[in-house]
Structure 1
Amino acid sequence: MPSTLTATRGSVTVAEATRTFTLVGTTAPGEAKPLILVFHGSGQTGDKHRAFTGGVFDALAARGALVAYLDGYRGNWNDARRESRFPARRADIDDVGFARTVAATFASDRRIDPGRVYAVGYSNGGQMAIRLAHETPGMLAGVAVIAATMPAPENFLASQAPRASLPVLLIHGTKDPIVSYQGGTMNWALRTLFKVGGSSWSATRTARYFAERNGITTEPTTTRLPKKTTADPTEVERTTYEASGVPPVVLYTIHRGGHTVPGPSSAPALIGKTSHQLDTADIITQFFDL
């Protein structure tokens, strides 16, 4: 990713606590750029996630957006899974307020367009994006969820704000060893390691759920994308839910892909293969028309 982009540390106060983030990109009052809120995975910070992905989301800043890599509380987000047990949940950290405050701060002088705020989340951060889609739909213009699926109803705590249609982008590997593409419950070791529990839906059921929330009842169309390189064993399938007058929902299935963010940089092999057949920043750019 371009090394000439400006990256600065910032902070806001939420519920009398200082919350921090790394901001990539430059803007001036009145420019009204899109704002991308990036939510990292368990055990990470915004900067660690930026390094973990090879700065893939920096490309969005290079294309004119403002990208904020937010820092969770002690490595996690207070997501909406009932059986989450990490400190952010136990302390009931106001991460919804954090997201709102960051967006409001940059919207106050029109550095960003308040109608073009997007949440992008990976793993635990994907769960946080799912929570925001339910509790702050009026704040967001779209959501991208990577390597995370919808908690089953009995495992979901998010309050239901008045429903608003949102474009939703989902990316998930079929060989994800941490968050199963098929859904279900994590094994004992993973539940202990990540301090989570409860059942979640499959990636395909998650996509259908968001489509139905948008009022889409027709069957989706599925396309196998051409391979960019034969050296990469992953293959990509795009499933699109769409109907006239409502935002679409798209699921990118990464066949043989792991618990990873597709792009030019590979994650550790322990969490599965990283697909180089597509670039997550490119997909986000195209899907949300940035």
Structure 2
Amino acid sequence: MVDFMKHLFLPLLCLILLWNLLACSNSNSESGRLEEKGIDPQSKIILEESKEKGDWESKENWESKENWESKNAQSKTITDTPDLIANSIVIDGVTRTYFVYIPDAFADVEKLPLIIDFHGGSGTAESQYYLSNMQSVADSEGVILVYPQAEVQTGSVWNTLHSSEGNKVSANDFGFIAELITELSLTRDIDDSRVFVSGYSNGAAMAYMIACHLNDRVAGFVVMSGLFPLESEFPCLITSPTAGLIFNGTADAERPYSGMPGYALSVEDAVEFWASSNGGSTSTTSQITENIERSIYIANDGITEVQLFTILGGGHDWFDFPVNGVEMPFFIWSFLSQFSN
């Protein structure tokens, strides 16, 4: 019996040792691959979506979608590392971080368009990567995606105001984004005429304000569940018609559709501002589903559009419903890709 156990145990022990050696080899190989891409193997952060998309068409489902972003983030699990490249620049003595996604098939192609995508308040650049889900568009259409990070030390909140009064934080985020665009123009030779901004919540306000104050460098914007914090003492420097997609829910408790007196315009006033800034416009409104209205404002040039999607009963969400059968990420790009400055 003892001899039998020896004959059984020794081969089993050898198999276990061989397995461990192979696992170690694969781990070292993976670490080397990550380091070659400039990614720290100790900070692997790809998240796997495990939550099914919501039924945006059914009004009765809206109550369950309140705080959808936080619920969605909690349902994700760590599995691997994305092809996000961490970069940093120094602004006013502060090191600022941003992540870049460059599609492999277009790695050596110059003059690619750029989308700068802002996370919500207290969020992260990485979480916005998964929330907006634009990487498939980047891979198929050749778009560089950039995810800037708000200053973590001040709560990861974007400073959307030029004035000191009412500021949540004092970070120079306008200088950060201006320098980021310049840096990518030098290092990646992006198409300067096709720089777009997008964002969610506080990040949507930042996208509004970058389009407002860096207008000569932005061809269009996308805002989800955000409001426009226009400052009368620091008017927008609109130099050319600017295209925009605006998505807001009428039941958003955090960024009310009616606006926030003393801080941000109502959604309708924000749309009116951009439509007027584009040189006047004609508008049409249609019901694309039972609970989603789309209003299209076409500028006098006959080209530039601002589109407002009003989600009846919609909450504080990154909306992912299809538009005319086109999934949201590809609809966003099909809109933005029409415009340049």
Give the TM-score, by structure 2 length: 0.66
Unaligned runs of 5+ in 2: 1-47, 50-79
1:210 and 1:36 mapped to 2: Cα distance?
Answer: 20
Q: Which residue of 2 aligns with 1:59?
A: 136
How far residue 162 of structure 1 moved from its aligned partner, in angstroms, is 5.1
**Deviations, residues 19-73 of structure 1 (Å, cap 9, x unaligned):** 111212235455211111011111011112234x1x5222332231111111001
From 280, 285, 288, give the equivalent of 1:225.
Answer: 288
Q: Which residue of 1 aligns with 2:89?
A: 12
User: What amino acid is the match of 1:59?
Assistant: S
From 109, 119, 122, give the equivalent of 1:43.
Answer: 122
How far residue 184 of structure 1 moved from its aligned partner, in angstroms, is 3.4
Q: Which residue of 2 aligns with 1:250?
A: 307
Whether 1:286 and 2:330 are equivalent positions in the alignment is no
Task: Please tell me whether Structure 1 or Structure 2 has the larger radius of gyration of its CA atoms.
Answer: 2
1:81 and 1:31 mapped to 2: Cα distance?
Answer: 34
Q: Which residue of 2 aligns with 1:70?
A: 148
Q: Which residue of 2 aligns with 1:127?
A: 205
Structure 1 residue matching 2:191: 3-state secondary structure: strand
How far residue 4 of structure 1 moved from its aligned partner, in angstroms, is 9.5
From 234, 241, 251, give the equivalent of 2:297.
Answer: 241
2:186 and 2:218 mapped to 1: Cα distance?
Answer: 16
**CA 1:157 to 1:41, structure 2 compared with 1: closer, same or farther past 3 Å?**
farther
- Check the 8 A contact 1:10/1:21 in 2, yes or no: yes
2:233 and 2:251 mapped to 1: Cα distance?
Answer: 27
2:235 and 2:255 mapped to 1: Cα distance?
Answer: 23
From 213, 217, 224, give the equivalent of 1:139.
Answer: 217
Identity of aligned residues (%): 27
1:201 and 1:144 mapped to 2: Cα distance?
Answer: 17
Report how many residues are paired: 250
1:205 and 1:159 mapped to 2: Cα distance?
Answer: 15
Q: Which residue of 2 aligns with 1:34?
A: 113
Which runs of structure 2 are paired with 1:146-161 in the superposition (5 Å)? Answer: 146-151=224-229, 156=232, 158-161=234-237
Structure 2 residue matching 1:242: 3-state secondary structure: strand
Structure with greater strand percent: 1
Detail structure 1 runs of 4+ shifted over 3 Å in the superposition: 1-5, 26-30, 81-85, 155-160, 276-280
1:206 and 1:200 mapped to 2: Cα distance?
Answer: 9
Q: Which residue of 1 aligns with 2:255?
A: 179
How far residue 116 of structure 1 moved from its aligned partner, in angstroms, is 0.8
Structure 2 residue matching 1:225: 3-state secondary structure: strand
How far residue 157 of structure 1 moved from its aligned partner, in angstroms, is 5.4
Structure 2 residue matching 1:168: 3-state secondary structure: strand
Structure 2 residue matching 1:120: 3-state secondary structure: strand
Whether 1:104 and 2:182 are equivalent positions in the alignment is yes
How far residue 16 of structure 1 moved from its aligned partner, in angstroms, is 2.5
Q: Which residue of 1 aligns with 2:17?
A: none
1:110 and 1:41 mapped to 2: Cα distance?
Answer: 26
Unaligned runs of 5+ in 1: 186-197, 228-234, 264-275
2:310 and 2:195 mapped to 1: Cα distance?
Answer: 25
How far residue 159 of structure 1 moved from its aligned partner, in angstroms, is 4.6
Whether 1:170 and 2:218 are equivalent positions in the alignment is no
1:41 and 1:84 mapped to 2: Cα distance?
Answer: 18
**Deviations, residues 61-96 of structure 1 (Å, cap 9, x unaligned):** 22311111110013111102865443xx2x3x2211
RMSD of aligned C-alpha atoms?
2.6
